[in-house]
Copies of this chain bind each other. A is one copy, B any other.
């Protein structure tokens, strides 16, 4: 795992006074290992269909939605929707459970919050 969960993509507010090349870093930047672990997560949400899928699930009552809800919202075939859901699931962004006839999906808020924290300044650390 990564040893830091800081907004390493947000600059620290500091004066702009450097005029020379190769100024030193003020914080430890994202390591290669961390970057290669994070990139697939962002890649999972870097798709219009998957963004909408996440949003549709999150905006549903109870925070979960069944696949029929999701499929109807797109002009895509069932298998394609299923593929995108699988991508999101493999990334850990969503989970699912079969309940009777239908399969329900819900958001994993922790993962999304982690990505959010890395991108921007967090006003609280849970």
Write the residues of chain A forming the contact surface with B, with a CB cutoff of 8 angstroms. 7-12, 14-19, 21-32, 35-36, 38-40, 42-43, 45-49, 51-52, 54-66, 68-69, 99, 101-102, 106-107, 109, 112-113, 115-117, 119-124
Contacts and interface: CB of A to CB of B under 8 A. Distances in A.
A109 B119 CA distance: 9
Contact of A61 (B25, B54, B106, B112): B25
Contacts of A47: 39, 43
Q: Chain A contact residues: over half helix, strand or loop, or mixed?
A: mixed
A68 B21 CA distance: 7
Given A14-B63, A23-B60, A25-B61, A113 B121 contact: yes
A59 B25 contact: yes
Contacts of A35: 48-49, 51-52, 55
B22 A107 contact: no
A113 to B, nearest CB: 4
Nearest to A74: B32
B123 A120 contact: no
